[in-house]
Chain A
Amino acid sequence: MRKAMQKAVGEFISSDPMSSLLLVDIGVWAFRDLLREYPSRVKNIGIFEPGTVGIAAGLSLLGITPTIYGISPFIVQRSLEQLKLDFVYQKTGGNFITTGASYDFSTLGYSHYCPEDVITLKTLPGFEILTPATPDQFTRLYKACANNGKPTYFRMTDHCNKNEAEIEFGKAKLIKSGKKGTVAVWAEMLDAVVESCRDIDVNILYYTSAVPFDYAALQECTDSKLVLCHPFYKGTFSDDVQKTFGGTVEICEIAVPREVLRNYGTKAEKDMALELTPSGIKSKIDNFLK
């Protein structure tokens, strides 16, 4: 996905002289050609995320579309006030691409984890939150939104799905149809859900967008039982489900528990510890549908 991101961003910067890319001292080698080719508006400006987001807002207010590339918690949490006041309140647009996902940097510890990125950004009205999980999905979403005048978060993952779903901005994609319930799944959890539901008769509805949220697809697919499966903190979509169904649907949520994650290991080992593997997911769905 990183390569697809570099290509998509490179094409945008090359095609639009009123655009700018700000690196927070990551991706510098990958963007070396772009840095050389457009030195006045492609910058590695150093490690100061809040200030960088503020500078990006200044660019945006004067008509230069900024794209920032950084690590999830340092953009979402360290710079949250800048996202809120400098972008959302000022009604101006920008692109915030992050690496790290929930715990992709599994050995770097809690400072580099961010399973709370989506629920945190959902507190900012009008902030688009996109969660592509294949290179093609990133490209589609970035092309659709990079210049739409809104603040947009692109959450990248290093653990892409092998299931390639052809997606559309803001729309959920029905991956599989079934009768016993619906599993709504986000981001890199799709592969595990597809595998875990191979012998379970359920709809699988795949989302690459947390905001805007495709309420209509969820309503259309869901009868009485709904499983939410995502790599974010539990409760991330509680308001969306409440808004769609009130209390009329039985819910099972399979997601990252709201705990301080103190262990290390690999991404796979963390998934196992959190029971977010195909077998862990299958067991929970089987129990729920009994």
Chain B
Amino acid sequence: MDETAVLKSLRKGILNTAHIGRDGNIQSCFSSLEILWALYNGGMNYTPENRGTPFHDRFVLSKGQSNLALMAVLAECGYIGREELNSFCKINSRISMQADRTKFDGLIECSAGSLGHGFPIAVGMAFAAKIRGSGEHIFTLVGDGEMNEGTMWETMLFAASEDLDNLTMIIDDNGSINKMLKGFDLTKKLEAFGFVVEKVSGHNVDEIKNALQKRGGKPTAIIAKTVRGYGCKTVMEDNSWFHRYPQDDELAVLCREVDEF
């Protein structure tokens, strides 16, 4: 199966899993999917072989609402069993709406949930890697809406002050913040806070992978332009899909739209 087909298959799987678990942030998951796929398919130094060793790259999902997409990617890459996705949101499941490090043995680096938490923790991990001299690179996925949180900016100050060039923040820029704030120029702000800024299409896996390799002697911010609900017409156009799961009569329709996209 080629990459486009795999990503379509993952989107349909996410719809199906949300249907089974009766919950989902489908728009966010579809917005982040190519970024997560790129990270676990060559974008960072993390493989089934080296993940058991202490010194591999690490990924922190700060934008917690994309967890179902992360789980779908981890299953596709063989880190968890595909059948486990069917336990999504069940009482004793390891998999819920938010990433949970306490349920996994090292596979999830950081629990998510409240926005503005994962990024500061990723900064601390990059700082720790400098102290350890371990050469790990820390990648973190944040949402552009998450950039409203004060903790993002206060810890960016520290990351820049410490020249944490082993830190890459990927911003899933699906236009959330500009719906709330006028004239929010993310690029200028990130540059002013001491980050090297790269811009990519957040649905182009090759562009994302290239940007993930960029190192500029400072912390890096990749602004990945994305579309909420990308890859499915109805989910893109109807914002109720930010937090909603497909009903019985909707699942097949949405999956067909994914195929037709």
Given contacts A40-B131, A50-B150, A85-B114, contact A58 B120 (CB under 8 A): yes
Q: Tell me the bound Cα distance from A5 to B102 in angstroms.
A: 33
**B81-107 interface mask toward A, CB cutoff 8 Å, 1 = contact, 0 = none?**
000000000000000000001100000
- In the complex, the answer to whether A48 meets B124 with C-beta atoms within 8 Å is no
Q: Which one, B123, B132, B154, contacts A58 given CB within 8 A?
A: B123
Closest A residue by C-beta to B138: A58
Residues from chain A with Cβ under 8 Å of B151 in the complex: 48, 50-51, 54, 82
Q: Tell me the bound Cα distance from A201 to B100 in angstroms.
A: 54
Given contacts A46-B158, A50-B150, A50-B151, contact A64 B121 (CB under 8 A): no
Q: Tell me the bound Cα distance from A81 to B155 in angstroms.
A: 16
Interface stretch of the complex, out of A27-35, A86-94, A152-160, A188-196: A86-94
**B138-170 interface mask toward A, CB cutoff 8 Å, 1 = contact, 0 = none?**
000000000000110011011001000000000
Q: Tell me the bound Cα distance from A106 to B117 in angstroms.
A: 33
**B118-130 interface mask toward A, CB cutoff 8 Å, 1 = contact, 0 = none?**
0111111111111
- In the complex, the answer to whether A59 meets B124 with C-beta atoms within 8 Å is yes
Closest A residue by C-beta to B124: A58
Given contacts A82-B117, A85-B111, A90-B101, contact A40 B130 (CB under 8 A): yes
Main secondary structure on B side of the interface with A: helix
Cβ of B172 under 8 Å from chain A: no
Residues from chain B with Cβ under 8 Å of A184 in the complex: none
- In the complex, the answer to whether B150 meets A86 with C-beta atoms within 8 Å is no
Q: Tell me the bound Cα distance from A20 to B128 in angstroms.
A: 9
Residue from B109, B120, B125, B161 having most chain A Cβ neighbours under 10 A: B120
- In the complex, the answer to whether B130 meets A56 with C-beta atoms within 8 Å is no
- In the complex, the answer to whether A48 meets B155 with C-beta atoms within 8 Å is yes
Residues from chain A with Cβ under 8 Å of B120 in the complex: 50-51, 53-55, 57-58, 82, 86
**A60-89 interface mask toward B, CB cutoff 8 Å, 1 = contact, 0 = none?**
111110100000000000000110011001
Residues of A whose CB lies within 8 Å of any CB of B are 18, 20, 40-41, 45-46, 48, 50-51, 53-64, 66, 81-82, 85-86, 89-91
Given A59-B125, A62-B129, A63-B132, 16 more pairs with CB closer than 8 A: A18-B131, A48-B158, A50-B151, A51-B158, A54-B120, A54-B124, A55-B124, A55-B158, A56-B124, A58-B124, A58-B126, A61-B109, A81-B114, A82-B117, A85-B114, A86-B120
17 A–B pairs (Cβ distance < 8 Å), ordered by A = A18-B132, A40-B131, A51-B123, A54-B117, A55-B127, A58-B110, A58-B123, A58-B125, A58-B128, A59-B127, A61-B128, A66-B124, A81-B117, A82-B117, A85-B111, A86-B117, A90-B111
